[in-house]
Amino acid sequence: MKPLRAPSKSRELAARVLHAAVVMLREAGGKLPSREIKARLAESFNAEPWAAEIIESNGFPRWENYLLFFSIDSVKAGWIEKTDGIWTLTPAGVEASHLAPREFLDRGTEAYQRWRKQRREQQFEATGTAPSDASDPELAVESEQGPPEERMLEIQRDAHLLLADELLQRLKAMSWQGFERAVVQVLLGMGYGGSRKEAGQALQRAGDEGIDGFINEDRLGLDVIYVQAKKWADASVGRPEIQKFVGALAGKQASKGIFITTSRYTDDARDYAQRLRERVILIDGSRLAELMIEFNVGAFSAVAFELKKINLDFFNES
């Protein structure tokens, strides 16, 4: 199998760290707290000066940064599951743990690239925003040689994709009260609903893992919007659900509505919504997660990087 990346000092360290972690998991019966994994790895890798070097941006040693960053590949490959600070090695992960360290890392990277390409294609279908060339694994490798600002933007986009994916999974696992809180906070962030108390009182639990109700379109309450939100795990929202929603709009003498789901919409449902006389906005799980990131709902800014450039005017002596 052709590796995605040429050998490098960083990749070699990442391969050793991650492989040591999965072998440790396998020998422990397949499950360990992340803090115990890091404590055991520290005994080995803190003895290596370059691996133990502290990264200034977050205060963690280099090997720990690599563990956290590259373990994401193993999660997307279906080899590791992370839940509430516990790492679990899946049956596929047990099999993969017998690979050589570099092959383990490269296969995980390939799996991550496939996941990233799929997520960006889904993003394009939902928003019409074209994915970047780096959604192609081969081009992604080439992009690493591009200008620093392009590489930093690429890293940020990848981090947002991963964060959005995790936010969506956690949303689906929340109680309806927690789901309501997330929806209210997103709507407030978008400028709807007046105060948080007013928006929270306006929305009520529905009988099918969802909530519905009215919110103010603006803080003065000059117009109202009807909202339905469905906390569905996998089933797609089809045209019949949107038709019922439009019927509810008519019954409540409303002309604007927002339909939110943690799953997705069928093409037929989207086409139907676009042809309506009433203004109906469809927000699927991917878009909801993006809005949560945009308005810091369930997320926060962790690290900021400053990129400096040379000031040519300073050296102009003419």
Q: What is the DSSP letter of 235?
A: P
The rounded percent of the chain whose pLDDT value lies above 90 is 30
- pLDDT, one tens digit per residue, over 29-70 is 999 999 999 999 999 999 999 999 988 766 789 999 889 888
Question: H/E/C letters for each residue in 114-173?
Answer: HHHHHHHHHHHHHHCCCCCHHHCHHHHHHHCCCCHHHHHHHHHHHHHHHHHHHHHHHHHH
**32-46, 173-187, 269-283, range with greatest mean pLDDT:** 32-46
Q: Where are the domains of the chain?
A: 9-116, 176-294
- The three-state secondary structure class of 227 is strand
Dihedral sign, CA of 72, 73, 76, 82?
A: negative
Class of domain 9-116: mainly alpha
Q: How far apart are CA 40 and CA 87, in angstroms?
A: 14
DSSP-assigned letters across all residues of 43-104: HHHTTSHHHHPBPTTTS-BHHHHHHHHHHHHHHHTTSEEEETTEEEE-HHHHHHTTS-HHHH
**Using one digit for the tens of pLDDT, what is the confidence trace for 99-148?**
999 999 999 989 988 888 887 777 666 655 555 444 443 334 334 444 55
Other CB atoms closer than 10 Å to residue 256's CB: what's the count? 15
Q: Which two tokens stand for residue 42?
A: 């520290």
- By the 10 Å C-beta count (0-12 exposed, 13-18 middle, 19+ buried), 87 is classed as buried
What is this structure's pTM? 0.61
pLDDT of res. 152: 63
Number of other residues whose CB lies within 10 A of the CB of residue 264: 20
How large is the average pLDDT for residues 307-318?
77
Superfamily of domain 176-294 in CATH is RNA polymerase, Rpb5, N-terminal domain (3.40.1340.10)
- The 8-class DSSP code of residue 267 comes to H
pLDDT of residue 290 exceeding 70, the answer is yes
Tokens representing residue 94 in the block: 């047990």
DSSP structure class, residue 315: G
User: Is residue 209 scored above 60 in pLDDT?
Assistant: no
Per-residue model confidence (pLDDT) at position 200 = 57
pLDDT of residue 204: 66
